């Protein structure tokens, strides 16, 4: 036995803990800063060479620096002010509480409609709700509202409501109920969600919540105010989306080579979505001004490019699902290489794509259903349209959702082969190439396998396959391992 690969008692030395002079630490993923076999919860994380880390850093560091510069240059410093119009969400509001409910005659209250919503005679059973203002300068003021029998919103005593406030109106007509207060149930639901994520995901779940908070902060403090200020919506979406992507991926999955490959795959897919979205929005002659909300925004801020807002929404809407796809594909390729160290990049790419095809089928359906759920009222047009499905689908209102869905789906589909190819090339180039042929290393061994026992012996944590002579020609035991380390 080669004396360099065995201790005084015949046990193989753990070469993974002693790097060769000038070579990389074989059992550490320097990108993540964690010792071998632990990573960030994904099981053994194979090491990467110093050269590969430099190549990845040469691509990602300038990109991250450009994103940081973009955030600084485009930082809006808050949304620009405007005179309130009193329309939609631009109205002033106050808080109120329903303090009393009394059954009254609709006829006596002069609130009897001509007929009910079903077409029959209208009911005469109305309610008079007494509501007290609980915020603002008029706190303590009370007013009444008549609730008709066919009214969808019903009140209960003690219920919190949102009041529309019209300061220019007559004193008795300044307040009216516009919505219900939902703060408590929403906060409770958010707490249950956070608890479930932490209980199941533990530290990883906590980091996911932190990344979610960062994403929300970038969206509300940078992307939305910058668009309202009049900056190019596409540029703002690319810079803000890239910042969200970097923060979310590295916070949730660690600063390592595997995450960096997922970042590269996500970035390339985002550019593809941006290019396709820009082309088809222009070709389809979509304006983006198809709802009351966009109409109000265009009225308040006429300098905003609404078409650009539509494109920015497509990019941001696709970002979250893209992260999931790219991270999953990179992790799959890494695990495939760990299970079969002799696999070359072609074999890894083929195996990764077999996994990716299943992923494509489920993710595309998920994205389409998510958009369909958000645009369900639009889909009802298909069932009531008398002018034909083709004509309805060609209307701007529906065509906008079709372009949004299909462009995002194309980007997701393209991210699978793109990210799989990147991961296969990176992991193969760094860990033995196409089966390690001609290098004196069967199977491309030479990295820590963390706990795989040799035949007839106990597992030695961190012991390399080369150090054990597993799968190597006789006499090549630790020698080839040392050559790899150099």
- Residue 82, pLDDT score: 64
- Residue 186, pLDDT score: 93
pLDDT tens digits, residue range 11-54?
444 444 434 333 333 333 443 444 333 334 444 444 566 777 77
Cα–Cα distance measured from residue 408 to residue 144, given in angstroms and rounded to the nearest whole number: 49
What are 297's two structure tokens? 């925004």
Angle in degrees, CA 273, 278, 281, rounded to 5: 115
pLDDT tens digits, residue range 51-106?
777 778 888 889 999 999 999 999 988 777 666 665 656 678 889 999 998 888 88
User: To which H or E segment does residue 31 belong?
Assistant: none
Considering all CA atoms of the chain, what is the largest pairwise distance in Å, rounded to the nearest integer?
Answer: 106
Bridge partners of 165? 92, 175
Q: For residue 131, which of 86, 110, 162, 105 has the smallest C-alpha distance?
A: 162
Q: Kindly tell me the burial class for residue 377, based on how many C-beta atoms sit within 10 Å of its own C-beta (0-12, 13-18, 19 or more).
A: exposed
Cα–Cα distance measured from residue 472 to residue 469, given in angstroms and rounded to the nearest whole number: 5
Cα–Cα distance measured from residue 234 to residue 236, given in angstroms and rounded to the nearest whole number: 5
Cα–Cα distance measured from residue 49 to residue 30, given in angstroms and rounded to the nearest whole number: 9
Residue 423 · residue 329 · CB < 8 Å: yes
Coil/strand/helix, residue 448: strand
Q: For residue 125, which of 143, 150, 144, 100 has the smallest C-alpha distance?
A: 150
Q: What is the dihedral of CA 22, 27, 29, 32, to 10 degrees?
A: -120
Q: What is the dihedral of CA 54, 59, 63, 65, to 10 degrees?
A: 30
- DSSP label of 453: P
pLDDT tens digits, residue range 114-148?
555 555 566 778 888 899 999 888 888 888 888 88
Mean pLDDT of 216-221: 91
CB atoms within 10 A of CB 437: 13
Cα–Cα distance measured from residue 182 to residue 175, given in angstroms and rounded to the nearest whole number: 19
Q: Considering only 38-47, 200-209, 281-290, 369-378, which range has the smallest mean pLDDT?
A: 38-47
- DSSP label of 343: -
Residues 6 or more apart from 184 whose CB is under 8 A from it? none
pLDDT tens digits, residue range 231-260?
888 899 899 999 999 998 998 888 888 888
Q: For residue 243, which of 268, 261, 216, 265 has the smallest C-alpha distance?
A: 216
Angle in degrees, CA 38, 214, 288, rounded to 5: 125
- Residue 296, pLDDT score: 76
Cα–Cα distance measured from residue 276 to residue 411, given in angstroms and rounded to the nearest whole number: 9
| Helix-helix angle 396-430:306-339, to 10 degrees | 30
**What is the end-to-end Cα distance of the chain in Å, rounded?**
21
Residue 280 · residue 301 · CB < 8 Å: no
Coil/strand/helix, residue 128: strand
- Residue 246, pLDDT score: 92
CB atoms within 10 A of CB 320: 15
pLDDT tens digits, residue range 387-408?
666 776 777 777 888 888 889 8
Pairing of strands 160-165, 92-105: antiparallel
pLDDT tens digits, residue range 294-346?
777 777 777 888 888 888 888 888 887 888 889 999 999 989 988 888 888 89
Bridge partners of 143? 131
Cα dihedral across residues 342, 347, 349, 352: positive or negative: negative
- Residue 417, pLDDT score: 93
pLDDT tens digits, residue range 362-386?
777 777 777 777 777 766 767 776 6
Mean pLDDT of 4-9: 41
CB atoms within 10 A of CB 209: 16
Predicted TM-score (pTM) of this structure: 0.66
What are 357's two structure tokens? 């095809």
User: What number of helices (H) and strands (E) belong to the chain?
Assistant: 13, 7
């Amino acid at each position: 036995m080669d004396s360099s690969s065995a201790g005084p008692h015949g046990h193989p030395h753990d070469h993974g803990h002693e790097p060769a002079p000038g070579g990389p630490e074989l059992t550490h993923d320097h990108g993540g800063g964690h010792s071998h076999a632990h990573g960030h919860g994904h099981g053994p994380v194979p090491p990467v060479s110093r050269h590969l880390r430099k190549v990845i850093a040469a691509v990602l560091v300038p990109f991250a620096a450009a994103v940081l510069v973009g955030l600084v240059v485009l930082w809006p410093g808050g949304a620009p002010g405007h005179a309130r119009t009193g329309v939609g969400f631009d109205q002033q509001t106050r808080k109120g509480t329903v303090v009393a409910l009394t059954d009254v005659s609709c006829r006596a209250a002069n609130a009897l409609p001509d007929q009910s919503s079903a077409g029959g005679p209208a009911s005469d059973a109305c309610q008079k709700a007494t509501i007290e203002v609980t915020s603002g300068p008029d706190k303590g003021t009370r007013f009444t509202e008549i609730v008709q029998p066919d009214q969808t919103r019903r009140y209960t005593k003690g219920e919190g409501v949102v009041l529309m406030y019209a300061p220019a109106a007559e004193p008795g007509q300044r307040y009216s109920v516009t919505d219900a207060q939902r703060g408590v149930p929403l906060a409770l639901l958010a707490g249950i969600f956070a608890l479930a994520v932490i209980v199941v995901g533990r530290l990883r779940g906590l980091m996911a919540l932190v990344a979610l908070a960062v994403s929300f902060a970038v969206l509300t403090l940078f992307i939305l105010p910058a668009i309202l200020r009049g900056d190019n919506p596409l540029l703002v979406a690319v810079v803000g989306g890239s910042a969200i992507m970097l923060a979310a991926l590295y916070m949730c999955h660690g600063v390592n080579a595997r995450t960096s490959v997922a970042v590269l795959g996500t970035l390339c897919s985002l550019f593809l979505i941006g290019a396709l979205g820009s082309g088809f929005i222009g070709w389809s002659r979509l304006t983006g001004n198809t709802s009351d909300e966009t109409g109000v925004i265009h009225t308040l801020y006429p300098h905003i490019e609404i078409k650009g807002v539509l494109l920015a929404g497509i990019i941001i809407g696709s970002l979250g699902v893209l992260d999931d796809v790219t991270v999953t594909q990179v992790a799959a390729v890494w695990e495939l290489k760990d299970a079969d160290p002799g696999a070359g990049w072609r074999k890894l790419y083929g195996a990764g794509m077999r996994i990716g095809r299943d992923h494509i089928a489920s993710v595309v359906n998920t994205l389409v259903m998510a958009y369909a759920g958000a645009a369900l009222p639009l889909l009802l047009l298909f069932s009531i349209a008398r002018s034909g499905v083709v004509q309805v689908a060609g209307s701007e209102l529906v065509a906008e959702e079709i372009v949004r869905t299909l462009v995002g789906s194309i980007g997701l589909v393209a991210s699978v082969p793109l990210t799989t190819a990147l991961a296969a090339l990176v992991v193969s180039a760094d860990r033995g190439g196409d089966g390690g042929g001609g290098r004196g290393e069967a199977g491309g061994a030479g990295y820590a396998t963390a706990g795989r026992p040799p035949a007839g012996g106990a597992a030695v944590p961190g012991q390399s396959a080369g150090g054990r002579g597993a799968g190597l020609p006789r006499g090549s035991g630790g020698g080839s391992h040392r050559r790899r380390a150099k």
